[in-house]
Structure 1
Amino acid sequence: MTFQPVLPWPILAVVAGALVLARVVALRQVLLSAGRRRGRAVLRWSGVTLAVLLLIAATTRPALLGNQTGQGAKAAAGANLNVFLVVDRSADEQRFAGMRDDIAALSKQYPAARYALIGFASKASLDWPLSEDVWSLRPTIATLGSQDATSSANAGAADNVLRYQLIQATQQYPGSRNVVLYFGCGAPGSRAPQGDFNLMRGSVAGGAVLGYGNGDAIDEVELHRLAAQLGVPYVHRQLSQAFQVGLPDTPDSRGDAADRTELYWLPALLAAGLLLAEIYLSVREFRRGRIARRDLAA
Structure 2
Amino acid sequence: MNAFPNWYLLGAAVLLVAVTAGVLLGTRNDAHVAARTRRKRWRHLGIALVLVAVAVRPTIGNVSTTTYTSGADVVIMIDRTASMGAVDYDGGKTRMDGVRADVTALVKSLEGSRFAVVVFDNNARVALPYTTDGTAVVSLVDALDWRTSEYGNGSDISQGRDTAAKLLAQSQRSDPELSRYLYYFGDGEQTRRAAPGSFEPLRQYLTGSTVYGYGTDTGARMLTAPGSKDYVVKDGAPAVSHMGEQNLNAMAQQLQGGYQHRLKPGGLDAHVDHPTLIPVVHRDPRGFETYWIFALIAAGLLVWELWDDVAYHRRARKEWR
TM-score (norm 1): 0.55
Q: Distance between the aligned counterparts of 1:138 and 1:112, measured in 2?
A: 14
User: Which residue of structure 1 aligns with residue 243 of structure 2?
Assistant: 218
Q: Does 1:75 align with 2:74?
A: no
Unmatched 5+ residue regions in structure 1?
1-71, 252-298
Q: Distance between the aligned counterparts of 2:202 and 2:266, measured in 1?
A: 33
- Alpha-carbon shift at residue 240 of structure 1 (Å): 4.4
User: Which residue of structure 1 aligns with residue 156 of structure 2?
Assistant: 154
Deviation sequence 1:25-53 (CA, Å, 0-9, x none): xxxxxxxxxxxxxxxxxxxxxxxxxxxxx
Larger Rg: 2
Q: Distance between the aligned counterparts of 1:130 and 1:88, measured in 2?
A: 19
User: Which residue of structure 1 aligns with residue 173 of structure 2?
Assistant: 171
| 2:71 and 2:275 in contact (8 A); partners too | no
- Alpha-carbon shift at residue 132 of structure 1 (Å): 1.1
Residue 200 and residue 227 in structure 1: after superposition, are their counterparts in 2 closer, same or farther (change >3 A)?
closer
Deviation sequence 1:235-271 (CA, Å, 0-9, x none): 11121443232213579xxxxxxxxxxxxxxxxxxxx
User: Which residue of structure 1 aligns with residue 252 of structure 2?
Assistant: 227
Q: Distance between the aligned counterparts of 1:156 and 1:73, measured in 2?
A: 41
Q: Distance between the aligned counterparts of 1:240 and 1:88, measured in 2?
A: 18
- CA RMSD of superposed structures (Å): 2.9
- Flag the structure with higher helix content: 1
Deviation sequence 1:169-199 (CA, Å, 0-9, x none): 1112231011000101112545454222242
User: Which residue of structure 2 aligns with residue 130 of structure 1?
Assistant: 130
The answer to which structure, 1 or 2, has the higher relative contact order (CA under 8 A, 6+ apart) is 2
- Alpha-carbon shift at residue 129 of structure 1 (Å): 0.7
Residue 201 and residue 232 in structure 1: after superposition, are their counterparts in 2 closer, same or farther (change >3 A)?
closer
- Secondary structure at the aligned position of 1:242 is classed as coil
Which of 196, 220, 223 is the equivalent residue of 2:198?
Answer: 196
User: Which residue of structure 2 aligns with residue 142 of structure 1?
Assistant: 142
- Alpha-carbon shift at residue 119 of structure 1 (Å): 0.6
**Count, aligned residues:** 182
| 1:204 and 1:231 in contact (8 A); partners too | no
Q: Distance between the aligned counterparts of 2:147 and 2:203, measured in 1?
A: 32
| 1:153 and 1:192 in contact (8 A); partners too | no
- Alpha-carbon shift at residue 151 of structure 1 (Å): 5.7
Q: Hey, which bits of structure 1, 4+ residues long, moved more than 4 A?
A: 188-193
Which of 249, 256, 264 is the equivalent residue of 1:239?
Answer: 264
Q: Distance between the aligned counterparts of 1:174 and 1:214, measured in 2?
A: 39
Q: Percent identity?
A: 24
Equivalent position amino acid for 2:84 in 1? D
Q: Distance between the aligned counterparts of 1:109 and 1:178, measured in 2?
A: 15
TM-score (norm 2): 0.51
| 1:123 and 1:154 in contact (8 A); partners too | no
Q: Map 1:258-277; keep pairs closer than 5 Å.
A: none
- Flag the structure with higher strand content: 2
| 1:196 and 1:226 in contact (8 A); partners too | yes
Deviation sequence 1:63-83 (CA, Å, 0-9, x none): xxxxxxxxx77634xx11011
Equivalent position amino acid for 2:96 in 1? F
Residue 156 and residue 200 in structure 1: after superposition, are their counterparts in 2 closer, same or farther (change >3 A)?
closer
Q: Distance between the aligned counterparts of 2:136 and 2:264, measured in 1?
A: 25
